[in-house]
Amino acid sequence: MSMRLVDGSASSRRYRSERPAARFDLSLSENPFPPLPSVLLAVNEALAQANRYPEFFPLRLPTLIARHLGVHPDQVVVGSGATGVAMQIIQALTTPGSELVVGSPTFDGYPIMAEMAGLELVSVPLDAMGNQDLAAMRRAVGNRTSLIVICRPHNPTGTVLPAAELTSFLCSVPSRVPVILDEAYVEFLAEADRVDTDALLRRHQNLLILRTFSKAYGLAGLRIGYVFGGRELIARVRRLQLPFGVSTAAVAAVAASYAAAPELQLRIHRITTGRENLRNSLRSCGIAVPRSHANFLYLPGPGIATALRRAEITAKAYPNGSARIAVGDPEADLAVLAAVASLR
């Protein structure tokens, strides 16, 4: 089955106001687990003070995250999900009319934010294996490029660029061009496949590493994301920090989540084990699902999205008929399997 991918930007223009009624909604790569009891308790305690404003400019959250990462708080900017932080980066570092280079398809937020900021989107098709084509992306970088986004793992395929390829790409990019390394799904990545972010940041002052609490931490509804990088670039991003922009509940949720690391790790393990089982079953049905390093699977092939929709499973659908589904809920995994098995 062909892995040729096409841009999902047409559907990305559709803003979802409410969740569709379906048996399973697997369209947003969410974590199937509700917040841990200890996290809920901490959030509830914070909400009891909801009549009070949070900090004017967030200090506690960047400090917590910086300590966890082993960097200085001056190297961290927090915001409303990775999406909010990415928008802040775009506003701080780009000018209307300049170009944003991305792999295509990619996270729907990037085409939307590019349009909002008046950027020209330079979409570089993924290769036949669903990887970002770094050589083609490098060729797409020119005088008008103001930002590059590399996702690792990539959304929607779940593929991971080899660390060495990423390193040589970063060395080849002009240092005036900022690069976002989007690691929204990094916690699902095996330790051996992670990149040494300290070493990369020491070498590349133009690098920004973007992460979120929406995926592995299961806090998508609280909207918590962050970026870390070199102090100079981070200071430029921080200049656009929204006053009162991060809730007290977000700080409580992050502190409680860090304290619950072993429980969260167990959940990650369950999600990734379920993902591997489902991928194996789907491949046995003849669907060429690429190896995913995230909490979703990309099911290539015409008719897949339609078969899922008929089975009342909401997936992220692509114009070529393929679909991306979140994994981790055993009941949903079985329903996906039954839906696509009926195609064969």
Ligand X SMILES: Cc1ncc(COP(=O)(O)O)c(C=O)c1O
Contact positions toward ligand X, by CB under 6 A?
29, 81-83, 107, 109, 151, 155, 182, 184, 212, 214, 220, 225
Q: From the CB of 208, what's the least distance to ligand X, in Å? A: 13
First CA to last CA distance, the chain:
12
Q: From the CB of 18, what's the least distance to ligand X, in Å? A: 18
13 or 283, CB closer to ligand X?
Answer: 13
60 or 324, CB closer to ligand X?
Answer: 324
Q: From the CB of 270, what's the least distance to ligand X, in Å? A: 20
Q: From the CB of 284, what's the least distance to ligand X, in Å? A: 27
Give the C-alpha separation, 68 to 37, whole Å. 21
Bridge-based pairing of strands 323-326 and 207-212 is unpaired
Residue at token pair 């990734």: 272
CA 113 to chain centroid = 14
75 or 212, CB closer to ligand X?
Answer: 212
Residues with Cβ < 8 Å from 202, sequence gap 6 or more? none
Label residue 158 left, alpha or beta by phi (over 0 means left) and psi (-120 to 50 means alpha): left
Q: Which residue is nearest to ligand X (CB)?
A: 81
83 or 159, CB closer to ligand X?
Answer: 83
Give the C-alpha separation, 272 to 31, whole Å. 11
Q: From the CB of 27, what's the least distance to ligand X, in Å? A: 10
Q: From the CB of 153, what's the least distance to ligand X, in Å? A: 8
Side chain identity, residue 94: T
17 forms beta bridges with none
24 or 188, CB closer to ligand X?
Answer: 188
The secondary structure of 215-248, three-state, reads CCCCCHHHCCEEEEECHHHHHHHHCCCCCCCCCH
182 or 329, CB closer to ligand X?
Answer: 182
Please count the other Cβ atoms lying within 10 Å of the Cβ belonging to residue 10. 11
